[in-house]
């Protein structure tokens, strides 16, 4: 499968790409605006079988977003679609390429109404409520503060309209740079964005206002994007390296790695079982679970394909530092190719000591650190620096807060920025779990995962993810690729499962059952 990266940009990055296309390559700005407006019209033609029977209102701001709206209005009028154009400004306030397209509209006799103040705008209330389609071309990527005053009032009215709302480039009021809401935001049924998706469109809560996201090619050459410094990408199936799923006929179980899962404590053997089963489902040739000796009999019953190693414990059911030599011996003896530390491990003081002492002694094989493996390093993230092994850390926001010392509120405000910063400063690969999980690498590259659903907000899901990531790393995938594969396929299996089971009934073991179908979807 040919791989094609989809960059995700800030407003400044998109402006730089536009500028390079216009000034560097000589593509006229009005050409890009024409292509942008046409792409919105093409979306509406696909969405509405007979758009000529639809009543349309185009709401235009005074900037370039409004210019895009003028192009939309011109083409709809040319097609015979009953279209009303309302500019939320005085004629003299419209500048640049937007002014050019507004003047074209007026020259060809397309009626344009101007509503520079709330009182004038309210005269169009009946028109808006009787419209089938509302084109939101009020505010685009240039937003620097929340929409308030007249624009805030207009946005709130738009959100109460019964018609289909399509936003031009951005839902008006939503920032390109952050998903956090700065003020009133249009809740669109669809957003046609130009060139590349924007960060504020993909992450929550902003993503909730975007509706269907259509990324339209407006003529910025791929070469312009390729030589940019953009380091954020959308994680889609096209972005995955699927080579490990293509097996030669002369392979055997040793070809596909041996994963060691270290975890378990009283009442939490299920976490280890889920991780081990996930590793096997993800293609690991072999999987062994290292658990407290007193819990071994339980694990023997819980797992079928995975093997077990009973290791030393202090008090019953608690792994102690005395288990370190056993685990290091098993790594060498069993030719372990990846190790996962944390599922169901518990937070007893001797277990914390065990984790802190074990990590520096693991020689070279990939480490996946999750759950209580992360909690053992609370406030001690410096222990991750300089390890011989590549480390993939898979926290949810609360675990990352404990690990990094950052407040939860700060993490939730800027999940992408915090993930990128932690990965860079600690030298690890970070998979920050949540709605639209983020995978970040030490070099600053980051990916926003597009799979998953609210049904996956239940216990054990993270343990399954740990097993998947460990399995991919154990089969030879580079750490970044292992994290990407794990995040994407974990979410996709959840999406496939929801189609049969619904969100409310989804449990972690369902991911194991539907993972083969998810893999089959992407491998083809």
The answer to whether position 322 is within a domain reads: yes
**Residue finishing a domain among 181, 198, 230:** 230
The answer to whether position 2 is within a domain reads: no
Supply the CATH number for residue 406's domain. Answer: 3.40.1190.20
The answer to whether position 3 is within a domain reads: no
Average pLDDT over residues 434-444: 98
Give the residue ranges of DSSP H helices in 79-194: 96-107, 118-122, 125-129, 149-159
Q: What is the pLDDT of residues 15-50, one digit of tens each?
A: 999 999 999 999 999 999 999 999 999 999 999 999
**Residue finishing a domain among 198, 230, 262:** 230
Average pLDDT over residues 76-93: 97
| pLDDT at 243 (0 to 100) | 86
Check whether 403 has a pLDDT greater than 90: yes
287 and 416 assigned to the same domain:
yes
| pLDDT at 495 (0 to 100) | 99
Check whether 248 has a pLDDT greater than 90: no
The answer to whether position 156 is within a domain reads: yes
Number of domains in the chain: 2
380 and 255 assigned to the same domain:
yes
| pLDDT at 3 (0 to 100) | 37
Q: What is the pLDDT of residues 315-327, one digit of tens each?
A: 889 999 999 999 9
Q: What is the pLDDT of residues 303-313, one digit of tens each?
A: 999 999 999 99
Check whether 282 has a pLDDT greater than 70: yes
The answer to whether position 264 is within a domain reads: yes
| CA proximity to 86, closest of 118, 46, 54 | 118
Measured in whole angstroms, the distance separating CA 205 from the mean position of its chain's CA atoms is 12
Average pLDDT over residues 104-109: 95
**Distance (Å, whole) CA 491 – CA 450:** 8
**Residue finishing a domain among 230, 252, 286:** 230
The answer to whether position 153 is within a domain reads: yes
Contact between 157 and 118 under an 8 Å Cβ cutoff? The reply is no
249 and 197 assigned to the same domain:
no
**Could you list the residue range(s) of the whole structural domain that residue 458 is in?**
239-523
| pLDDT at 2 (0 to 100) | 38
Check whether 105 has a pLDDT greater than 70: yes
- End-to-end CA gap in the chain: 9
Which three-class secondary structure state does DSSP give residue 319?
strand
Helical axes 269-281 vs 508-523, angle rounded to 10°: 10
The answer to whether position 1 is within a domain reads: no
125 and 39 assigned to the same domain:
yes
Percent of the chain with pLDDT over 70: 99
More confident call, 2 vs 231: 231
Contact between 214 and 43 under an 8 Å Cβ cutoff? The reply is yes
Q: What is the pLDDT of residues 409-428, one digit of tens each?
A: 999 999 999 999 999 999 99
Q: What is the pLDDT of residues 172-190, one digit of tens each?
A: 999 999 999 999 999 999 9
Which residues lie closer than 8 Å to 457 by C-beta, 6 or more apart?
A: none
**Distance (Å, whole) CA 382 – CA 480:** 21
296 and 166 assigned to the same domain:
no
Contact between 218 and 36 under an 8 Å Cβ cutoff? The reply is yes
| pLDDT at 480 (0 to 100) | 98
Which three-class secondary structure state does DSSP give residue 136?
strand
* Lowest-confidence segment of 243-252, 263-272, 508-517 by average pLDDT: 243-252
409 and 448 assigned to the same domain:
yes
459 and 323 assigned to the same domain:
yes
218 and 270 assigned to the same domain:
no
DSSP string, 286-302: EEEEEEEGGGHHHHHHH
| pLDDT at 1 (0 to 100) | 31
**Distance (Å, whole) CA 195 – CA 177:** 15
Q: What is the pLDDT of residues 146-164, one digit of tens each?
A: 998 999 999 999 999 999 9
278 and 157 assigned to the same domain:
no
The answer to whether position 14 is within a domain reads: yes
390 and 268 assigned to the same domain:
yes
50 and 181 assigned to the same domain:
yes
**Distance (Å, whole) CA 457 – CA 508:** 9
Distance (Å) of CA 402 to CA 355, 397, 398, 436, 487 = 15, 9, 6, 21, 22
Average pLDDT over residues 292-300: 96
pLDDT class of 4 with cuts at 50, 70, 90: low
Measured in whole angstroms, the distance separating CA 435 from the mean position of its chain's CA atoms is 7
449 and 310 assigned to the same domain:
yes
Q: Is the peptide bond before 436 cis (omega within 30 degrees of 0)?
A: no
Supply the CATH number for residue 115's domain. Answer: 3.40.50.10260
Contact between 467 and 276 under an 8 Å Cβ cutoff? The reply is yes
**Distance (Å, whole) CA 315 – CA 309:** 18
């Amino acid at each position: 499968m040919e791989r094609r990266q989809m960059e995700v940009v800030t407003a400044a990055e998109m402006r730089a790409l536009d500028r390079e296309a216009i000034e560097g390559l000589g593509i006229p700005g009005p050409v890009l605006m024409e292509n942008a407006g046409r792409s919105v019209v093409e979306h509406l033609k696909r969405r509405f079988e007979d758009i000529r029977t639809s009543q349309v209102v185009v709401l235009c701001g005074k900037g370039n977003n409004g210019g895009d709206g003028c192009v939309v209005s011109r083409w709809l009028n040319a097609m015979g679609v009953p279209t009303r154009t309302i500019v939320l400004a005085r004629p003299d306030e419209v500048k640049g390429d937007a002014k050019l397209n507004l003047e074209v509209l007026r020259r060809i006799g397309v009626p344009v109404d101007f509503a520079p103040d709330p009182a004038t705008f309210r005269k169009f209330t009946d028109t808006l409520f009787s419209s089938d389609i509302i084109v939101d071309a009020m505010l685009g990527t240039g937003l620097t503060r929340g929409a308030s005053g007249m624009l805030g009032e207009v946005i709130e009215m738009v959100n109460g309209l019964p018609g289909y709302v399509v936003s031009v480039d951005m839902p008006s009021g939503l920032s390109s740079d952050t998903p956090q809401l700065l003020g009133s935001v249009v809740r669109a049924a669809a957003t046609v964005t130009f060139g590349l998706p924007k960060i504020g469109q993909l992450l929550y809560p902003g993503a909730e206002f975007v509706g269907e996201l259509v990324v339209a090619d407006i003529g910025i050459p791929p070469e312009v994007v390729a030589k940019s410094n953009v380091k954020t990408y959308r994680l889609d199936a096209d972005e995955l390296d699927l080579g490990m799923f293509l097996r030669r006929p002369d392979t055997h179980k040793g070809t596909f790695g041996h994963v060691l899962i270290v975890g378990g404590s009283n009442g939490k053997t299920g976490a280890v079982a889920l991780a081990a089963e996930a590793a096997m489902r993800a293609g690991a040739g072999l999987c062994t679970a290292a658990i407290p000796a007193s819990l071994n009999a339980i694990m023997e019953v819980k797992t079928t394909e995975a093997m077990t190693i009973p290791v030393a414990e202090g008090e019953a059911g608690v792994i102690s530092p005395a288990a370190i030599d056993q685990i290091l011996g098993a790594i060498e003896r069993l030719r372990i190719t990846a190790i996962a530390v944390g599922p169901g491990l518990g937070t007893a003081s001797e277990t914390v000591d065990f984790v802190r002492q074990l990590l520096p002694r693991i020689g070279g094989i990939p480490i996946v650190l999750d759950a209580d493996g992360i909690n053992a390093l609370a406030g001690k993230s410096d222990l991750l620096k300089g390890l011989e092994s590549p480390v993939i850390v898979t926290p949810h926001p609360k675990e990352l807060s404990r690990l990094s010392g950052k407040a939860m509120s700060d993490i939730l405000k800027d999940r992408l920025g915090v993930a990128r910063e932690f990965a860079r400063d600690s030298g690890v690969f970070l998979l920050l779990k949540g709605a639209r999980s983020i995978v970040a690498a030490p070099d600053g590259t980051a990916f926003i995962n597009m799979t998953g659903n609210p049904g996956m907000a239940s216990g054990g899901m993270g343990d399954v993810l740990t097993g998947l990531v460990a399995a991919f790393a154990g089969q030879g995938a580079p750490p970044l690729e292992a994290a990407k594969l794990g995040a994407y396929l974990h979410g996709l299996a959840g999406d496939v499962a929801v189609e049969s089971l619904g969100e409310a009934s989804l449990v972690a073991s369902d991911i194991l059952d539907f993972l083969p179908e998810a893999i089959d979807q992407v491998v083809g």
